[in-house]
Structure 1
């Protein structure tokens, strides 16, 4: 990656002199709280617990970790745990009291972690962030989402904040003579044409306008178009769930119309969400609502079966309240948190935060985005080009869970046009992302009864779409939710919201 990209081989002594930014912190250094260690034995050894998704844990001599260590001036002692067992391992580690200095907490809003935070187990880091160039720029909306009782106890792992939209067959659009949809009515018309106007031109009415799974992945996106809330809204000083608002019913009616006109698969309520991509690959549908970057993976079978097939993405749809998209998963996936039992002093905490801050520098973003020059990519026309995808998967993706950033500073490469398009959408759409207003708060009732009362709404939603209940039946289901604990959830959230407002 240009001359400033992280190189594959760094002479240890020279690299430390050139790239090592201070990691032993002085209490009086507010503008840059890091100082440079003068001796090799002063390099901090940091223990970190993190997850992995590969078949085997990353190797101890993983080259990416060595580069990170050289750049941040630290020595990382990694505790790798498989993703499938991660939350259980976190809970067991907390119970045992033998904690690493840096814990990646995937479910940082689980009741167990909230209890641990409130008991004083983790450092509050909010007051320190202003002293670090990258940490000081963290998204305030996302920071608010990870807060507990209005305070920040971790550094979130950033993800695109407005990530979802429409993936569709562009060649089908051309076949039915329609432009890219811009409004909700446009979307309906495209779906109808994909289902009724023989978009694959085989002379049969054998396609669905849109394909959906039992999780109803597209519902929240469509709800956003109608002006709905991201799970919870604020009305008259109270936090209420999205399904108690008018736009939710409008989104339900949209789905019901699709179902009644057989424009979506009639078995949507029972098929897994993964069937959506399969349906596109098999030519059964030309439109799904999903994360936009899914267009870059999972559709190889479509290209093999139909080399003339062309996929495209659409993100902004005009609705009654303008263009709106739901903030995706709160804008983050887990957070780094720092136990007081293993990070014993403020000086140690500042030292660790200095290392964490450098993990968000452009050089490290480029490392995760592209890998090592000469091994995973090369430079052509001044831009990085992937050369060995298999090695990249093995070396970089194996340790990708260390990554904090969303790649916003990484150098743009010679990406395919569709990749460039959705990456730009991620940046542009951050301005129209709608947050979950209850995200910063906790509900003991929801923690206890959440799966039970949520099922009431999920079942009623499907019944309404399929015509088994009408609007009165829907309202009865909402009342059942309220009487079964929902009103307590509203009161708990609302009390915290109003307390924080004061």
Structure 2
């Protein structure tokens, strides 16, 4: 049996992609058009006087920036290109006047170990992309350059607009001691929502309504198992799927995870949350988690959850084969559904949200930022970080036509710094609204951003021949029915602490093993439900109490 992964690992996200127009006036016009089409006004946040004298997309003179990075093992480059010199590095140099000197690169654990050594010895490059724990370690040690002033001077209108969509929470997360010490990524918040996907064709065949409560979900799963919804005369259907990591609770939604069920009980295992008194506590040891485990235990014992969920190598197989009627997963489930509908053309899954007993939908959010572009203390051109971020954002959001000329099938880790997500926090809902208005004739297709225009073209093609080409269908589907579900009211909860502490570094792996094994044994009936109470006692005595104190101390420093 697999154990849950450690809550936080010292890894570095290994990608940052980029491009921007070499004509600032043209780029500004593109950004203004996008702002207008999304209902935002880029000029609503006027640039500072210093910004008016700078070009946010290109430095006035060539500069060389040192870096090191991780690359995908086995990723290929065209003949003649290298990690140091390829279409991405040449593009960035042409657009920004920034050339990168790669001190070293590595893959996987080799990269992680070399990074740890470099951080410990303060042997840092001018610029690099790091995870939250590395960022905090460098900030606490005074190894990072203050980017507050250069951000104010160089941040492009679109860049500011994206951060504004987070209510500036992303920028706040990149501050330490009141100073902006990094350019943080922006996570798409819709990625946190785990939906209940139910086969509507099975509901219709059995005369059932879509589930609206936990009791409804149990009853539907029971009917799917017992009433032969596929009509083959065999007792071979599965109510709901699961996975080997289903009893942990990541912020980001994943397939076959029990996140919606935990949330329906106001339970947030594996996360640091505030209890009713406002104190920060570990969600896995709270009574609400015990309640959720009790429900999952009952469902598993009744045969409503896939009996093989903890052992399956291909977790999607029950859904793709047409055997399962319910799975839990994200808004972007179109890829798996494409395979499902290929095998079962009459199948039809619909997405739903699962409320708690009071009718409220709870949702544990993804961290608004988890990747940080930093520059070492004393670097001569700190503004290069902001210019680089501006170019990356312009390319990732497809506001620079020149970036579309690149071959994006080439692995993104070959960009000078790498790849991370910079988007509107509510990007899915925004794009869905734009698509809907264009499809209903409220707006003209030619007014759409390049990203949404592609979605529109796919949608029109599918309308002419519904599901005729499932690759076309899945390319835009997430921005229709699932996006409408995302607009439903939710109570959003953020994890209060997403880094590590000193005691965590030494004891977290053992505590995670204890948690994983206890939870699985409870759900699968190998231990009584009350073994949860012993787990709580053991967790606290084996380092949990010390970690809780450290977490609270770290939070108080902010």
**Bucket of the pairwise TM-score, normalised by the shorter protein:** 0.7 to 0.9
2:480 matched to 1:421? yes
Q: Give the equivalent residue in structure 2 for 1:209.
A: 239
RMSD: 3.9
3-state SS of paired residue (2:222): helix
CA distance in 2, matches of 1:20, 1:43: 20
Q: Give the equivalent residue in structure 1 for 2:164.
A: 137
2:382 matched to 1:349? yes
Farther-moved stretch of structure 1 (397-406 vs 248-257): 397-406
2:548 matched to 1:490? yes
CA distance in 2, matches of 1:37, 1:498: 36
| Runs of 4+ off more than 6 Å | 37-41, 395-398
Which of 108, 115, 118 is equivalent to 2:132? 108
What are the Cα deviations for residues 309-331 of structure 1, in whole angstroms up to 9, with x where unaligned? 33443346455361121113x23
Q: Give the length in aligned residue pairs.
A: 454
3-state SS of paired residue (1:276): coil
CA distance change for structure 1 residues 476 and 312 in 2, over 3 Å: closer, same or farther? same
Which of 481, 488, 508 is equivalent to 1:450? 508
CA distance change for structure 1 residues 322 and 128 in 2, over 3 Å: closer, same or farther? farther
Q: Give the equivalent residue in structure 1 for 2:144.
A: 122
Farther-moved stretch of structure 1 (47-56 vs 218-227): 47-56
CA distance in 2, matches of 1:263, 1:326: 25
Which of 224, 231, 234 is equivalent to 2:274? 234
3-state SS of paired residue (2:185): strand
3-state SS of paired residue (1:158): coil
Q: CA deviation at 1:451?
A: 0.8
TM-score (norm 2): 0.69
CA distance in 1, matches of 2:413, 2:76: 11
What are the Cα deviations for residues 218-272 of structure 1, in whole angstroms up to 9, with x where unaligned? 2333222222346122233532111232321221122112101111122333445
Which of 312, 334, 341 is equivalent to 2:371? 334
Say whether the 8 Å CA contact 1:182–1:318 is kept in structure 2. no
2:194 matched to 1:159? no
Which of 395, 405, 409 is equivalent to 1:393? 409
TM-score (norm 1): 0.76
CA distance in 1, matches of 2:257, 2:504: 24
Which of 245, 251, 260 is equivalent to 1:221? 260
CA distance in 1, matches of 2:183, 2:422: 11
3-state SS of paired residue (1:354): helix
- Give 5+ residue unaligned stretches, structure 1: 1-7, 22-27, 377-390
What are the Cα deviations for residues 318-363 of structure 1, in whole angstroms up to 9, with x where unaligned? 55361121113x23442212222xx524xx11342233134324x5
- Give 5+ residue unaligned stretches, structure 2: 1-18, 29-46, 247-255, 432-448, 459-472
2:65 matched to 1:43? no
Correspondence list, 1:263-302, <5 A: 263-272=304-313, 275-293=314-332, 295-299=333-337, 301-302=339-340
Q: CA deviation at 1:171?
A: 2.9
CA distance in 1, matches of 2:414, 2:196: 29
Q: CA deviation at 1:152?
A: 4.8
Q: CA deviation at 1:476?
A: 1.1
Which of 112, 124, 131 is equivalent to 1:87? 112
CA distance in 2, matches of 1:195, 1:188: 11
CA distance change for structure 1 residues 69 and 364 in 2, over 3 Å: closer, same or farther? farther
Say whether the 8 Å CA contact 1:464–1:471 is kept in structure 2. yes
CA distance change for structure 1 residues 19 and 161 in 2, over 3 Å: closer, same or farther? same
